[in-house]
Structure 1
């Protein structure tokens, strides 16, 4: 089951990812304010992990359900993962061709199996990793002793923490606990949504204040990663609570939100190339940031729209066939 309000949230989160991967180049006089805007998306991956874990496990009731999940994930994750890694490898080799690099130098392990050619696809790798291990999670979720063991093991990351949220593996833990919540409370997301208008406005403001307030806490104080990752996770919860109560975005709703994965897949190197180009002609850091974000988002959306018009089947192949089949039903629940 897919919910329009959740697709709306994923659409906005994807645009925040595009913003987050734009690097400051040149003038650093606006560093603090540039980073403030950039870091509006620093908890997007935890937010996506909550969504992914919850949605995967909210429809699992028996072990046979996992078999169906395996089949779907081959086309929704594995095929796009390999295709995008292959394309990005060719493009990077093409760019490096003048240095003697062959176009067919695939370096299969690093560029195709792993994500060296598509650094942002480590998240897709993580989803595939948990799909493979889902029988183990199912065994643990179904038993009180297993849930207790998960609770104990979750804190093991403290012994293996890195200097970034990626290396800390905290994302894996967030997915695990979001999956547990989805397994036992599959209707929770619908209950979090607020129906009364006045109440929705009040809570939306509170969610926004909490989301920004937590950022100021870890932005202005030296906090160790073992604590900071918890703040990332809490901030992600407030961000999700905020987004699922927002009105539908016009562009997203008109396109049935089917382009969010395409934008995610194509944006990383677009940020790099367009960012490098605009940094040479735009001196103001904030204008450079805004222009790069706008151009990358528009180009990514436009290219996806064009491919979908020319070859819908090819578009589905690259995006994992993510067209929802219950948009009408979920639209009614949104009103």
Structure 2
């Protein structure tokens, strides 16, 4: 009947590890005499170490005598367990040492439209802190369409993506960042810019030509556009803003993105009490894949903001 090692052994410390190292050398050299040169200690000292180990484990590990050296059944099992222990210790040592290795390589960040300059994200500050901590990592920052960002992160073509939350795909992790408030805007040259609030103002708004992103983002956006005159498509905010500033179209924009134009009197929100929606911006990363210390560091710095 096998003995319960957990009950009899207790904690494994440096002393037990040293004894196990001696036992390892004896087993792999094939006996006490052969292990002398490997361990640079005498046979009698090796014998004492093995005896101490057997006493600590309360197990007979090996037989030695005229028949030569051999392991007992318990000795074979302890040897296998020992190899697993040493492997785990080496993995721990390597992992800790890796933490001190200087970060290198590339960090690929892809953002949707105007997210890069949204003051709520504070991306420039995060990049500055990251570059100070990991100066040898090249940060690649680009802007892509929403669906392209999801595809690139899933395919490991990008490490981090910033997108408005519109769905959750398996294979991606989502971290909520902030919420953008969006209103319906018209320019100073649009006929409704100076329109007074009235019963028919909403009817005039619904009849006006609207420029929109041309993709399904979330149900709230779809509900706002459902009864409007969708006359033009312009995916990126910069191009959509140009369409609105032309005076030929009205359109939804994040308040933070058009703050300057509103302050300068170039834009005005139409029927702001009813025509608005919230857009949650999230960071997406690949749910399963190889470890990426640069990505993890960047996400940690981002969360602190």
TM bracket (short chain) = under 0.3
Of structures 1 and 2, the one with the larger relative CO (CA 8 A, separation 6+) is 1
TM-score (norm 1): 0.20
Larger radius of gyration: 2
Greater helix fraction, Structure 1 or Structure 2: 1
Greater strand fraction, Structure 1 or Structure 2: 2
